[in-house]
């Protein structure tokens, strides 16, 4: 009887303290806890950006979204920050010939990202970290980031771009089984990541149904055209997903989570970026005074 009461107390106490924890996901917070979450995060909000596009014949359309969502969720268990809910609006024109692709016009994705950052800031955050999971986004994101200097902002945006970790890279190459150069989209490493995070969504028996090899159909040198990716990978599949293993996925994700936690800590402690930004905007405003 005594043991039963003790057990009951333990259960009640554990669920009570669990309920008292402030969730990290913006959409899981109750409004009354929001200011507490802003404070706990040091006014830092993670904006994971994914996309909806075909990922080979075997990995889900939301692979990049699921990836960054899981990545952020794991990271904030170690270092708290608020995580913005699912965001899957980016540059994906090159996959419009594939079913399930969601490619909004460029002006819309630009305005949407700017308005989203403004709204995040209006809710009390002055630091936003973009965690991008989509290979078609970096050019857009770099241009967007640089354009933030065009007018005064009361918040800073950080784009997470980890530097090459040579120790990790050496081990990565050792464990990697397919050709490194063409492991670009739904190939071995990305498939392994999803296999680790969400094995229930993977259709590994279909991974060899289509070719993920470079078709090399456009032999131009020193020239860029928007059709280059389609010319090389008409199946919107680059690499060999079939070579992926859960073990390799764990190796990749352990490293990516640890690296992002490090950056997150750095952002939370950073005061310099906002100070310099304000100094810059002040100089712009006072240029002719
Ligand atoms: Zn992807």
What residue ranges do the domains of the chain occupy? 24-270
Give the Cβ contact number of residue 281 at 10 Å.
15
CA–CA distance, 266 with 29 (Å, rounded to integer): 24
Compute φ and ψ for 49, nearest 5 degrees. Answer: -115, 120
Strand order in the sheet with 156-159: 82-83, 44-49, 127-132, 156-159
Q: How far apart are the CA of 22 and the centre of ligand 1, in A?
A: 31
Q: How far apart are the CA of 52 and the centre of ligand 1, in A?
A: 9
With the C-alpha atoms ordered 228, 230, 231, 236, is the resulting torsion angle positive or negative? positive
Q: How far apart are the CA of 128 and the centre of ligand 1, in A?
A: 22
pLDDT digits (tens, 9 = 90+) for 153-209: 999 999 999 998 999 999 999 999 999 999 999 999 999 999 999 999 999 999 999
What does the buried/exposed string (b/e) look like for 97-109 if buried means 16 or more CB atoms within 10 Å of the residue's CB?
Answer: ebeebebbeeeeb
Look up the CATH number of domain 24-270: 3.40.50.10310
Q: How far apart are the CA of 45 and the centre of ligand 1, in A?
A: 23
Mean pLDDT score of the chain:
94
Q: How far apart are the CA of 184 and the centre of ligand 1, in A?
A: 8
- The pLDDT, as a whole number, for residue 2 is 53
pLDDT at 143 over 90: yes
* Number of alpha carbons in the 13 Å side-chain half-sphere of residue 65: 16
- The pLDDT, as a whole number, for residue 289 is 84
Q: How far apart are the CA of 198 and the centre of ligand 1, in A?
A: 14
pLDDT digits (tens, 9 = 90+) for 226-244: 999 999 999 999 999 999 9
Q: How far apart are the CA of 55 and the centre of ligand 1, in A?
A: 6
Q: How far apart are the CA of 186 and the centre of ligand 1, in A?
A: 6
Q: How far apart are the CA of 13 and the centre of ligand 1, in A?
A: 42
Quickly list H helices, the chain.
2-20, 34-40, 63-78, 106-122, 138-147, 166-175, 188-197, 228-232, 246-269, 272-285
pLDDT digits (tens, 9 = 90+) for 7-48: 555 545 444 444 568 999 999 999 999 999 999 999 999 999
8 Å CB contact between 48 and 84? yes
pLDDT at 136 over 50: yes
Overall average pLDDT of the 66-83 stretch: 98
CA 208 → CA 40, 67, 194, 239, distances in Å?
A: 46, 22, 17, 10
Q: How far apart are the CA of 194 and the centre of ligand 1, in A?
A: 10
pLDDT at 103 over 90: yes
Give the Cβ contact number of residue 263 at 10 Å.
17
Q: How far apart are the CA of 260 and the centre of ligand 1, in A?
A: 18
Compute CA 287 distance to the chain's CA centroid, rounded to the nearest angstrom.
38
pLDDT band at 287; cut points 50, 70, 90: very high
- The pLDDT, as a whole number, for residue 20 is 62
**Which distant-in-sequence residues (6+ apart) come within 8 Å of 168 by Cβ?**
255
pLDDT band at 3; cut points 50, 70, 90: low
């Amino acid at each position: 009887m005594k043991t039963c009461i003790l057990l009951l107390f333990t259960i009640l106490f554990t669920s009570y303290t669990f309920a008292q924890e402030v969730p990290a996901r913006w959409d899981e917070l109750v409004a009354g806890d929001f200011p507490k979450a802003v404070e706990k995060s040091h006014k830092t909000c993670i904006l994971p950006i994914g996309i909806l596009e075909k990922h080979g014949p075997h990995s889900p359309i939301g692979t990049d979204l699921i990836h960054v969502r899981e990545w952020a969720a794991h990271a904030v268990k170690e270092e708290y920050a608020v995580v913005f809910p699912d965001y899957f609006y980016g540059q994906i024109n090159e996959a419009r010939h594939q079913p399930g692709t969601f490619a909004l016009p460029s002006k819309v994705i630009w305005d949407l990202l700017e308005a989203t950052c403004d709204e995040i800031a209006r809710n009390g955050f002055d630091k936003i970290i973009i965690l991008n999971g989509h290979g078609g986004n970096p050019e857009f994101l770099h241009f967007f980031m640089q354009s933030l200097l065009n007018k005064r902002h009361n918040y800073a945006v950080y784009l997470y771009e980890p530097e090459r970790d040579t120790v990790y890279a050496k081990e990565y190459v050792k464990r990697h089984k397919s050709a490194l150069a063409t492991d670009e989209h739904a190939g071995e490493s990305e498939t392994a990541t999803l296999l680790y995070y969400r094995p229930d969504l993977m259709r590994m028996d279909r991974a060899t149904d289509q070719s993920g090899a470079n078709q090399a159909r456009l032999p131009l040198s020193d020239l860029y055209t928007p059709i280059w990716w389609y010319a090389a990978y008409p199946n919107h599949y680059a690499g060999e997903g079939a070579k992926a293993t859960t073990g390799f996925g764990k190796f990749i994700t352990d490293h990516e989570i640890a690296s992002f936690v490090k950056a997150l800590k750095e952002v939370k402690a950073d005061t310099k970026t906002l100070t310099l930004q304000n100094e810059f905007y002040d100089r712009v405003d006072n240029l002719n005074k």
